[in-house]
Amino acid sequence: MNLGLATTYIIGGLMMLSIIGYNISTYNSSVEVTSSVTTQDKLDNIVSVLQTDLNRIAYNVDTGLIDAFIESEGNIISFRGDIYEDASSNFDLVEWRFDREPDTTTTNPNDFFLKRTWNSTPSIPNNAVEYSYSVSHFKVKYYDINGAETSAKDDIIKVQVEIIVESDEPYYTSKNGDESYYRLLWKKKIVANNLIY
Amino acid sequence: MNDYSDVLYLTAAMVIYSLLSINTARSFLNTSDTVIRSDVEYRTITRAQDEIEEIKLLKREDQNKLNPNHIDYMFSTYPITSNETFGVSGQYRDSYIISGESEYIDEGDPLIRRFKVSINVVNQSVDPNVSVDLIFIKSFER
């Protein structure tokens, strides 16, 4: 074989490999950025609904603050409060529950359902509406006026919520099949205005 | 002569291609840096809001905690370092330096006393550090 032709093939081959590698890294970077944006959006959606709910704890509850919380567990928070100020009723019932039930609608094995149940007519349980969000971790802690953790519903002044959300699809899959998901954390203490007295 | 010019052409092409690759890699790095910093900023803002939530809790009888000239002034021990853990088993950790100060706003109002509270939170997990400033006006009945 002609030496010049062989050299051309070798250099051309190297260039081709380099271009393929370049393409792969461009693709991975694009997927990572897209994953980060969609995951941030996903977290923002959950956080905005959750913050609206928690800021309305005990609002328009005519029986007083003593009845604000129904359940105050690490993975469940349910309470009374007028969420949307609708004229038809005083307060709504809201529950956020994380039972680690896998969310099979995404490819991420770490995704579990976080369920929000909202009932604007508490006297009619069948009217409850359920919304599902996909999160990897959800934990609630409750604090009293002195900042100490408490489990007594009547003493709760602050609620701390911690959420971890991961991207639905992996942004990178290694040669041995390990998948990397984009992950976001959110942790915040919320003092509901209606619990301050 | 023809062989030499081919080598020169190839060298020039590879130099141009290398420069393009380096620029693209730099762009990717900047994008990743922006994404990570925005995530850190998001958490730092949340931490600063936590401090403001504490101020919201102050009762009327505790208003001296915002008076810089009083012994109960709550920011006398600031800046403080706060470590936050996240995750199922606390596997993630953030460290914040929190500074705070308050200032009496003399409006001459006979009914209400107002304090301007400034909170600064620095997250050192990225370089340069992420710094967030929040201001809150707390009002008390006299």
Across chain B, mean pLDDT equals 87
Residue range A82-131, pLDDT digits in tens: 888 776 667 888 999 998 899 988 889 999 999 999 988 877 888 888 99
In a domain, A2, yes or no: no
* CA–CA separation, A72 and A118 (whole Å): 16
Cβ contacts of B32 on chain A, cutoff 8 Å: 29, 32
Q: What pLDDT is recorded for position A1?
A: 64
Length of chain B: 142
Q: What pLDDT is recorded for position B120?
A: 95
Q: Which among A184, A187, A196 is the nearest to B56, CB-wise?
A: A196
Which letter does DSSP use for residue A146 in this model?
T
Task: Tell me if B43 and A33 make a contact (CB, 8 A cut-off).
Answer: no
Domain boundaries, chain B: 2-141
Cβ contacts of A190 on chain B, cutoff 8 Å: 53
Residue range A15-36, pLDDT digits in tens: 889 889 888 888 888 888 888 8
Task: Tell me if A188 and B46 make a contact (CB, 8 A cut-off).
Answer: yes
Among all chains, which residue has been given the structure tokens 């709504």? Answer: A92
Instruction: Supply the range of the domain harboring residue A105.
Output: 34-195
Task: Tell me if B84 and A145 make a contact (CB, 8 A cut-off).
Answer: no
In a domain, A97, yes or no: yes
Residue range A168-193, pLDDT digits in tens: 988 888 888 888 898 888 988 888 77
Q: What pLDDT is recorded for position B2?
A: 64
Residue range B45-65, pLDDT digits in tens: 999 998 998 888 888 888 888
Q: What pLDDT is recorded for position A197?
A: 60
Taking 70 as the threshold, does the pLDDT of residue B12 lie above it? yes
Task: Tell me if B35 and A32 make a contact (CB, 8 A cut-off).
Answer: yes
For chain B, count helices (H), then strands (E): 1, 4
Task: Tell me if B86 and A187 make a contact (CB, 8 A cut-off).
Answer: yes
Residue range A32-82, pLDDT digits in tens: 888 888 999 999 999 999 999 998 888 877 765 667 888 888 899 998 888
Q: What pLDDT is recorded for position A151?
A: 82
Taking 60 as the threshold, does the pLDDT of residue B1 lie above it? no
Q: What pLDDT is recorded for position A25?
A: 84
In a domain, A143, yes or no: yes
Task: Tell me if B39 and A184 make a contact (CB, 8 A cut-off).
Answer: yes
Suggest the residue from A51, A146, A188 to mutate for an interface test with chain B (most B CBs closer than 10 A).
Answer: A188
pTM for the whole structure: 0.81
3-state secondary structure string across A1-35: CCHHHHHHHHHHHHHHHHHHHHHHHHHHHHHHHHH
Q: What pLDDT is recorded for position A88?
A: 64
Q: Which among B42, B57, B84 is the nearest to A196, CB-wise?
A: B57
Q: Which among B10, B32, B46 is the nearest to A11, CB-wise?
A: B10
Average pLDDT over residues B25-46: 88
How much of chain B exceeds pLDDT 90, in percent?
23
> ipTM surpassing 0.85, yes or no?
no
Residue range B98-120, pLDDT digits in tens: 999 999 888 777 788 889 999 99
Q: How far is CA A109 from CA A101, A104, A166, B68, in A?
A: 11, 8, 10, 52
